Every structure is written in structure tokens, then in C-alpha cells.
Amino acid sequence: MTIDTIRAEIKRIEEAKAFAREVFPNTVFPNVVKQPVWFGRKTVKQAEGRVALVDTNSDTLFAIASERYNLILHEEIVQQVVQATKKLPEYGEPKFHISLPYDGAKMILRVNFPMKKEEVKVGDEVISEINFRSSYDLQWKLRSDAGLRRLICSNGASIPVRGKQFGYVNRHISTLNLETAIKTMEEGLIAYSERTGLWKQWAEKQIEEQGYNEIWEALPFSEAERNKMEELPETGSQILLPVALASHSLTLWDMHSVVTQFVTHNIESEARKADLEPEVGRVFDRAFEGRLRN
């Protein structure tokens, strides 16, 4: 690298950081850099081909990676995604939400498009949502997935929908530039439009006791949390799971709505939410396909 190239790269990164902090002024982003790795007791040596990913704000070590590891900063993703939405005016004004669980080691950037609205059942509307996930701890590659957000309450309950029916599952992105971000969101919005019918099928799929218990066995919740959800009225319809089950009126969509409502509003840890959301989506996908036991 020449001096001019290095200066240009530093300028690009600083601009991305400033941009992200303007979009999310109340968010504290980790300041992650690559540092050499040293090892040994009597004789200290530098580990060849390895680097440490360190948050210099807190001296937190996120991971040890190959020196060829492509470090993509959270702020770079924010910048490219926000700028990409400006190239998609036909989808309306987007809304952005960011969470940085595990002390910033992971990032979830959600982009909602309120104009992309559908009604799953009477009085139950949803809008499209594209999620971008990345991490510094090497547990998540940079990925995107398409989902939805229910409009039952002011905060909304995020409902990630994954599985082969959706046709847009955890799209891996090796890097993110403006063109890739635009293409990624366009693909997710097309998938959302094409697969809205799936959720309408969920609203028609009745659950009986055996299926109900199988879903609970597969879901990643404690018995105490299950009890809380069974006492939790679904916002909007006000149904209670045991009552709807007993009257043979419980649908997969209703149960899914109660569970995701609990995750959104009752789980305080952003880190646990990040882990629960995709797992909940997978369980209900399998339930829809009738393959929980497989």
C-alpha cells in the first residue's frame, strides 16, 4: 500500500464512523482494530498469520483471526445500507433500528419499509423488514435475511421468517458496498412480496394438542417461560394459548405471534433476543412443514 492509499482508506473509515454516529447518535459503537498476537512464557513470540480483533474503547478481545480476515466495521454496514435505501425511493421512507449485543461483538441492523404492507388476517398487518447481521467474534458472517414486523402495537413484534418456503435465507455477503446493499434489499423485498401467502397459510393452519406440545418441546424456552406465555394475551386478538387450544381455534400464526411478542417485549437481554429470534423462526418453519420430529 502506498501512503496515499493508506490515507484514503483511513478517510473512508472515518467517514463511515461519522455517518453511522449521525444516524444512531445514542449508540456506542466499539472501536475495533487488528492487533498482533503474542504468546509464550519464557520467550514471548508473535503469532505469525494471526491477529487479535480488539475493541480499544474497552480493551475487549473479541476474537483471534487470520491476518487475511476482512474486517468490516459495523459503521461501514450502516453507511452502505442507509445510502442504499436512498436509491430505492419506490419502497418509501425506511426506518432503521440497530442493536449491538454481546458488548458490540455482534450487530443486527433492521430496515423496515412501512409502505410494503400486507394483511395476514383481518386486523393483523405486517410490513417488510430486511435484517443485516455481522459480528467481530467470528460467530456470524455478514448475512442478510428478509422478515416482517407486525403492526399490532406501537413497538411492533419482529417476526423473523426463515426456511425454504421463504426463498431468501441468510444470504451470505463477503463484503458490502453500495451496489451489493441495493441488490440485497431488492431481493429481500421481492421475496417478501412473493411469500406473503405463506403467512396467510400459517393463519389458517390449526394446531391441536400434539402439535402444540411438539412445538413447545422444540422451542428454546424454560418451563417457567412457557407458563408466562400461556398466560400472556396476544396483543390485538387478546387470545390466550390454552383457551384457543381447548376451543380448537388456535392457529400456527396465533401461537407464533404470542411467542415472538414475548421475545420482543419480555426478554430484556438483547444478546438473548439475538439468539432466540432465528431459532424461533426455524421451529415454526418446521412446524408448518410437519417435520418437528425429523
Look up residue 29 and give its DSSP letter.
-
Query: Who wins on pLDDT, 236 or 87?
Result: 87
DSSP for residue 206: B
The per-residue pLDDT for range 184-197, each reduced to its tens digit, is 888 888 877 777 78
- For 27-31, 82-86, 97-101, 140-144, which range has the lowest pLDDT when averaged over its residues? 140-144
Inside any domain, residue 25: no
The C-alpha cell of 181 is what? 446493499
Tell me: pLDDT of 157 over 90: no
pLDDT attached to residue 163? 44
Place of cell 417478501: 192
Reported as a pLDDT band with limits 50, 70 and 90, residue 55 is: very high
Query: Is the residue at 228 inside a domain?
Result: yes
Please name the helix (run of DSSP H) or strand (run of DSSP E) that holds residue 40, with its range, or none: none
pTM: 0.79
What is the predicted pLDDT for the residue at 48? 94
The answer to the question of residue 207 being in a domain is yes
Contacts of 268 (CB under 8 A, 6+ apart): none
Q: What is the pLDDT of residues 94-136, one digit of tens each?
A: 999 999 999 999 999 999 888 888 888 887 888 888 889 999 9
Domains of the chain: total: 1
Q: Is residue 66 part of a domain?
A: no
Kindly state the helix (H) or strand (E) to which residue 53 belongs, with its residue range. strand 45-55
Q: Which residue type, as a one-letter code, is found at position 186?
A: E
Is 194 domain-assigned?
no
Q: Is 214 within the bounds of a domain?
A: yes
Whether 173 shows a pLDDT value over 80: the answer reads no
Residue 82 lies in a domain: no
Q: Write down the pLDDT at residue 197.
A: 80
Query: Is 210 a member of any domain?
Result: yes
Amino acid 223 reads E
Instruction: Identify the domain containing residue 271 by its residue range.
Output: 201-289
Quick: pLDDT tens for 80-102: 999 999 999 998 999 999 999 99
Which of 263, 252, 258 is CA-nearest to residue 238?
258
